Amino acid sequence: MRLRTFVYGAVALAIAVGGAGLVAWSEAKRKFHGPGPAENAAYFRIERGDSVARVASALAEQGLVSNALVFRYGARLTGEGANLKYGSYEIPAQASMADILALVTNAAAGRDRYLVIFRVSAETGTTILLERLAGSAETSEKSRFTAEDGIPEMYAMLVDSGESITYRVAVPEGLTSWQVIEALNSAEFLEGYVEDVPGEGLLAPDTYSVRRGAEVTDLVSRMLESQQKILEEEWADRSPDIPVSTPREALILASIVEKETGIAGERELVASVFANRLKLPMRLQTDPSVIYGITEGRRPLGRGLRQSELKRETPYNTYIVDGLPPTPIANPGRDAIRAALNPADSSFLYFVADGSGGHAFAETYSEHRRNVRKWRQVEAAKHSGN
What pLDDT tens digit does each residue of the chain (386 aa) get?
443 444 445 555 555 555 444 555 677 778 888 999 999 999 999 888 889 999 999 999 999 999 998 998 888 888 888 899 888 888 999 999 999 999 999 888 888 999 999 999 998 999 999 999 988 889 999 999 999 999 999 999 999 988 889 999 999 999 999 999 999 999 999 999 999 999 999 999 999 999 999 999 999 999 999 999 999 999 999 999 999 999 999 999 999 999 999 899 999 999 999 999 999 999 999 999 999 999 999 988 888 889 998 989 999 999 999 999 999 999 999 999 999 999 999 999 999 988 778 999 999 999 999 999 888 887 777 766 65
User: Closest Cα to residue 95, out of 135, 131, 128?
Assistant: 135
Say what the pTM is. 0.85
**How many CB atoms are located within 10 Å of the residue 88 CB?**
18
Query: What are the extents of the domains in the chain?
Result: 2-109, 114-231, 256-384
pLDDT of 5 reads 44
Buried b (16+ CB within 10 A) or exposed e, 292-323: bbbeebeeeeeeeeeeebeebebebbbbbbee
SS3 243: coil
Q: How far is CA 228 from CA 139, 247, 252, 278, 309, in A?
A: 34, 10, 14, 25, 33
pLDDT of 249 reads 98
Q: Which helix (H) or strand (E) holds 32?
A: helix 21-33
Query: CA 321, 323, 324 angle in degrees (round to 5)?
Result: 100
The contacts of residue 51 (CB under 8 Å, 6+ apart) are: none
pLDDT of 23 reads 53
Q: Does domain 2-109 have CATH number 3.30.1490.480?
A: yes
Compute the Cα dihedral for 92, 95, 99, 105 and give only its sign: positive
HEC sequence for 309-344: HHCCCCCCCCCCCCCCCCCCCCCCCHHHHHHHHCCC
pLDDT of 8 reads 45
CB 132 within 8 A of CB 113: yes
